[in-house]
Homo-oligomer: A and B are copies of this chain.
Amino acid sequence: MSLRASDQEVSSSGALASRLFECRVQTTALTAGLTDADATVQSMEDASPTKWHLAHTTWFFEEFVLAPYVPGYRRVDAQYRYLYNSYYDAIGPRHPRPLRGLLTRPTLVEIVDYRRRVDDALQGLLSSSLPPAALDLIELGIQHEQQHQELLLTDLLHLFAQNPLRPVYHATRDADCADTAPEPGWIDFPGGHFDIGYAGPDFAFDCERPRHTVLLAPYMLANRPVTNQEWIEFIADGGYRSPQLWLSDGWGRVQAEHWQAPLYWVQRDGTWWQMTLSGECPVEPGAPVSQISYFEADAFACWTGARLPTEFEWEVAARAQPVAGQFASTGRFRPSPVRLDMQAPLRQVYGDVWEWTASAYSAYPGFKVAAGAVGEYNGKFMCSQYVLRGGSCATPAGHVRPTYRNFFHPHQRWQFAGLRLARDRT
């Protein structure tokens, strides 16, 4: 990917070190209150255990920073190179993904110790002068670890949702939020030529580059994401029983997996409940709907007569707004009704829920894969996935940008993913 090339090496190195260790501490802090078992089990193949997230993000620094840049560096444990490689074929063989949950050893305590020892080595490394390439890799390691912070939370929620005891990860804090969402409305955007993608001096992933021009027709975006209340109406109107609303592959999933509501919803005595990181709670009507697949997002849009926005439409609209919203730093870890003091016409663009777009995840014109193993970071996933934008209540604050592209397969449901409607202007 294209990384920051700094000519203020020393001072930036200090700032980088602060951000690095702040990030490392945050990751470990997410495990407070988890048992060794909570941190070990893999509840489905798409998810990874907490311990694996902790170790893999550490392996990343060992593999790409310490081993190349610390002369004579000795790995904490030679077997970790095999166990905690995720998908970097260039690095060598790796432990199969579906078996990650069988590693009851090392223990959570041992993994935390592994993190500490690697942090010590990074501290040592960062006290010396480093070439820009090394700094770039540390920056990438921070961004990478932030992504795993979010996955750690969504994977844990999936695990706890399988448990009939409905474990609580942490008690919900009261949110500064309204009970209800504002009335739905449309915001107009003009057509024209727009530059898309990142071209600035700071970090951005390779898939956000190169910046290039696209042509957009005039369009409208909804003033806020679709809410749980609207989703309840969709269910009540037979949304999950009407094949004509669905993409063909989506309808296949609805039938094969008996989808009837968002992933963690269950109805008891006429009331909808949903599993959250604070345990099972009543569904909040005014909060953005979450834990839905692309297929569901598309079917809902079809039901309303609208459509999903393209990622370009989203980016052009979103970049006029400050990157502010409910991120993981609020500690609420669930989408919330819009804050009353938010007066921007386009609300909840950032945070709360990732927004599915109509755009297949693909390379921007002129995209080049980075040299070396880190070149496997994004490019090899550019197939059969869809772009989501904006970040969620589980995304670390400061991680996303207007140009940031997240991506998942259209059937995947366990993320904090919702939707915002779009329309053509006619």
Chain A interface (Cβ < 8 Å from any Cβ of B): 35-41, 43, 79, 82-83, 87, 89-90, 95, 99, 101-108, 159-160, 162-165, 167, 193, 212-215, 217, 243-244, 246-251, 294-295, 298, 358-360, 362-363, 365-366, 375-376, 380-384, 410, 424
Query: Would A358 and B365 count as touching, CB distance under 8 A?
Result: no
Tally of this chain's copies: 4
Cα distance A160–B403 when bound, in Å? 45
Query: Would A41 and B104 count as touching, CB distance under 8 A?
Result: yes
Most buried by B among A83, A90, A298, A365: A365
Other than A103-B163, A105-B165, A248-B380, give 14 A-B pairs with Cβ distance below 8 A.
Answer: A35-B36, A37-B104, A37-B105, A37-B108, A41-B101, A79-B165, A82-B164, A83-B165, A102-B162, A102-B163, A244-B376, A247-B380, A250-B383, A383-B410
Given A162-B99, A213-B215, A38:B105 Cβ within 8 A: yes
Query: Would A39 and B41 count as touching, CB distance under 8 A?
Result: no
Residues in chain B near residue A358, CB distance under 8 A: 362-363
Choose from B107, B167, B212, B298 the contact partner of A104 (Cβ within 8 Å).
B167
Cα distance A105–B169 when bound, in Å? 11
Cα distance A424–B366 when bound, in Å? 7
Closest chain B residue to A368 by CB distance? Answer: B424
Question: What are the 9 A-B residue pairs with the smallest beta carbon separation, nearest first?
Answer: A360-B360, A89-B243, A37-B40, A37-B104, A102-B162, A36-B37, A248-B380, A38-B104, A36-B36
Query: Would B79 and A365 count as touching, CB distance under 8 A?
Result: no
Query: Would A106 and B165 count as touching, CB distance under 8 A?
Result: yes
Closest chain B residue to A375 by CB distance? Answer: B244
Choose from B40, B89, B95, B360 the contact partner of A40 (Cβ within 8 Å).
B40
Query: Would A43 and B164 count as touching, CB distance under 8 A?
Result: no
Cα distance A213–B410 when bound, in Å? 28
A107 to chain B, nearest CB (A): 5
